[in-house]
Structure 1
Amino acid sequence: MEITGVTTTKVSNESWGEFVEFPLLTIMNKYDEYRNVDGSNPEARRKWMGPVGDVVVEIETDTDITGVGIANWATGAIATVIDETLSKLVIGEDPLQREKLWELMYRATLPFGRKGIAIDAISAVDTALWDIAGKEANKPVYELLGGPVKDEIPCYASNLHPVDFDTLEQEALEYVEKGFDTMKMRFRHGPEAGRAGMKENEKIVATVRDAVGDDIDIAADAYMGWTVRYAKKMTKRLERYEMAWIEEPVMADNIEGYAEVREAAPMPISGGEHEFTRWGHKDLLEKEAVDILQPDVGRVGGISEMKKIADMAETYDIPVIPHAGTNPTLHLIAASTNAPMAEYFPIPEWYKEQQDGDSTYADAIFENPPSPDDGMIPLPDSPGVGAELNREALEHFALE
């Protein structure tokens, strides 16, 4: 088999709907113009995110098999790396030689890569190569990763944006009714909001805990919006709520800060969503910076690198709960004894009522996005990654 072509499609984040306008704490809260803590500045995130959302890569072969991969965020730059560098490395090669091709791509981009855009691009191509391998073998990718160790995949509900407290309470109850036994919310404030912000952050957690009771695990995402000092104070304040974890409390590169927060915090600390490759995650593990590792398959280097990270983390007794429960991620979780659950982004009923439909981004450009039942996602059974593109939607959301 031989790779004959590589194409990229840039996709607008307009397909994400109004979720990018909801109030929540982000890494940019430090600056007034990019802060949206109460819904009064709905364009705040779009200002720094820009118009692009994801890049879809399709790898064609000299057979009738085409592999599909995806990466996100700096989509224009990612597409350029794929089009101008990675495609030249893989065209003419055997797509089943994934280790060789990963190494070629990593070495070729090292002068401008190692992290960030170059690894995002490699992630998309690598995932497409695994998709080809699964389709060629007529098996789901998890069968190529050693076979499933689960009959179905537990997932947690990841949404709970703090739009208002009544809505937050009702949404939390909705997820309990749908069978989720773990859910994650978002904070609103960082150090710039002072003690008043701390009180409101606590109220967010208290609202969800009071709504769901003590039998449901709750977590919260700070999205790198805190300092070490603030995180230590905030985690201590939240001790009474017995949280499953607090996610990304400080800047991703502040690994020593992560370790300091983890040492002081009365609940588990998670991170790794914005880390790259096995070497970046090795630093988190060696420096005892996290209790839970959260690599993103579209950011770490694809399925190949995710597998190595999950296996490495197991030797440190650190579980892997990947960021974003996309189709490729589900295969890694299905085949890993060290990945207990997937992240799932449900669409709350209050939001559906405001929209003409209830499509998410995944619903929009893929024919068969993951769909849980009673908090469990069935194992994918189609060959490859199982992500079939909706051509009409892809064309609709495509950027020039």
Structure 2
Amino acid sequence: MKITGVKIRRVHGTMATKGMFWEERLVRPIDIYPEYRDQGPFEGGEQVDGSHLKLVQDFVEIHTDEGVTGTAGPIWQDCSHLILTQLKSIIMGKDPLAIELLWDQMHRLQVHGRQGIPMVAISAIDCALWDLKGKAFNQPLWRILGGPTRESIPAYASMLGYAVLDLGKVRERALEYKEKGYKAQKWFIRHGPMAGHEGLRQNVALVRTLRETLGDDYDIMIDCWQSLNLDYAVDFCSRIEEFRPRWVEECFMPDRIDSHVKLKAKTSIPLSGAEHEYTRWGFKRFIEKDALDIYQPDIYWCGGLSETLKIAAYATVHDLITIPHGHSTPIGIHFSVTQSPIHTPYQEFLVKWNAINMHFLMNPLWPVKGDIHLPHAPGVDMDLDPAKIEREEEVRL
């Protein structure tokens, strides 16, 4: 089998929403500057009215001379351009089942692209190749990977985009998702250090409200999205320790590894992060310094499924937990159910981002009573639903 084509499909469609889809945004590192701190939600899609979100998404397809196709996405448009200009030529004519060879060649080609957009583009190609491999053998990907270790995995509801400053709505949503069967929830603080004492008070009030609403026997996680500095993080963690969060996530930008180490020495709360890190070499820096307790590589960013498997294997050597960043349920489940339950106890389910990222799929994979069950279709089951595509074009150079 040989690769005969690499195609980018740009699809347009409309997703129904109940009111404004994005209610609030998370804190961001750039919020230290006042002109950015007060900006509203900036996430995916265009809200055209109170009940419709316009979506434009790119999906990459890898075609072969035997009619087997692998798909990944959605991907950023900058990645689409890089795939067509730099990665397509190096994989054309190659064996699509030689995934390790193709990954190594793509990575070595990108000598100035060891992070960021180039690595995300490599990740998309890698994920599409794994989808293709499953289809070639007519097996779900988890079987190709040697699993499963279980029939389903608990999902935690990741509540990005929900209102966090209105504590009444926080209580309502937290109870709603507990009643849906989710075993845990992660919420995102809105304020960073430059929001002052009032912002800190509101962050702490969010954590207190979650614990009081959800009870003692329920995991809550708090995401800081790289936006704190060390003294603020120490203060924040000391104030919320009594509420026993399962972890506090991404307190600092990823290159501030020493800040992670110093915070870990000052708090009893487990620390998680590194979703914005890339490759096994990037994660090696964190693990060697014992900077985190839970590692969260993004399968679509860190180098693909191939690299996520290597990162997780290295983490288990140190008895560390790996729970990938969770906006890509269709491929994430294939990773999760092939890992030891003690090293991957949850799968993240970003509620709003999964609704967007699975909108165009023929068979979106939703949690059932808080559990994500292993799928049985060949590959990753990334076929697009023509009924949801209002318009489409192929992206060309």
Q: TM-score, normalised by structure 1?
A: 0.89
Do the aligned partners of residues 125 and 225 (structure 1) sit closer, same or farther apart at CA in structure 2, a change above 3 Å counting?
Answer: same
1:180 to 179, 182, 189: 182
Tell me the secondary structure at the aligned position of residue 282 of structure 1. helix
CA drift of 1:76 comes to 2.9
Contact 1:10 1:79 survives alignment (8 Å): no
Richer in strand (by share): 2
Richer in helix (by share): 1
Match of 1:104 in 2: 105
2:302 to 287, 300, 303: 300
Tell me the secondary structure at the aligned position of residue 169 of structure 1. helix
Match of 1:341 in 2: 346
Tell me the secondary structure at the aligned position of residue 223 of structure 1. coil
Tell me the secondary structure at the aligned position of residue 59 of structure 1. strand
Kindly indicate whether residue 9 of structure 2 is the aligned counterpart of residue 9 of structure 1: yes
Match of 2:376 in 1: 381
> After the TM superposition, which segments of 4 or more aligned residues of structure 1 sit over 6 Å from their partners?
11-17, 397-400
Tell me the secondary structure at the aligned position of residue 150 of structure 1. coil
Match of 2:288 in 1: 286
Do the aligned partners of residues 378 and 206 (structure 1) sit closer, same or farther apart at CA in structure 2, a change above 3 Å counting?
Answer: same
CA drift of 1:15 comes to 6.2
Tell me the secondary structure at the aligned position of residue 29 of structure 1. helix
Q: Matched residues in 2 for 1:145 and 1:175: separation? A: 31
Q: Matched residues in 2 for 1:199 and 1:13: separation? A: 41
Contact 2:361 2:385 survives alignment (8 Å): yes
Match of 1:149 in 2: 149
Map of 1:29-178 to 2, 5 A cutoff?
A: 29-36=31-38, 41-42=39-40, 55-70=58-73, 72=75, 75-110=76-111, 112-159=112-159, 161=162, 162-178=164-180
Kindly indicate whether residue 270 of structure 2 is the aligned counterpart of residue 268 of structure 1: yes
CA drift of 1:360 comes to 2.1
Tell me the secondary structure at the aligned position of residue 364 of structure 1. coil
Tell me the secondary structure at the aligned position of residue 238 of structure 1. helix
- Coordinate RMSD, CA, aligned: 2.5
Contact 1:310 1:339 survives alignment (8 Å): no
Unaligned runs of 5+ in 1: 348-357
Identify which range, 237-246 or 17-26, moves more after superposition. 17-26
Contact 1:33 1:44 survives alignment (8 Å): no
Unaligned runs of 5+ in 2: 45-53
Name the aligned partner's letter for residue 381 of structure 1. H
Contact 1:35 1:44 survives alignment (8 Å): no
Contact 1:71 1:299 survives alignment (8 Å): no
CA drift of 1:192 comes to 0.5
Do the aligned partners of residues 383 and 44 (structure 1) sit closer, same or farther apart at CA in structure 2, a change above 3 Å counting?
Answer: closer
Asked which structure has the greater RCO (Cα within 8 Å, sep 6+), the reply is: 2
Kindly indicate whether residue 332 of structure 2 is the aligned counterpart of residue 332 of structure 1: no
Do the aligned partners of residues 106 and 71 (structure 1) sit closer, same or farther apart at CA in structure 2, a change above 3 Å counting?
Answer: farther
Map of 1:222-237 to 2, 5 A cutoff?
A: 222-237=224-239
CA drift of 1:142 comes to 0.9
CA drift of 1:43 comes to 5.3
Identify which range, 365-374 or 376-385, moves more after superposition. 365-374
Tell me the secondary structure at the aligned position of residue 73 of structure 2. strand
Match of 2:221 in 1: 219
Tell me the secondary structure at the aligned position of residue 265 of structure 2. helix
Name the aligned partner's letter for residue 77 of structure 1. D
Do the aligned partners of residues 44 and 157 (structure 1) sit closer, same or farther apart at CA in structure 2, a change above 3 Å counting?
Answer: closer
Name the aligned partner's letter for residue 345 of structure 2. P
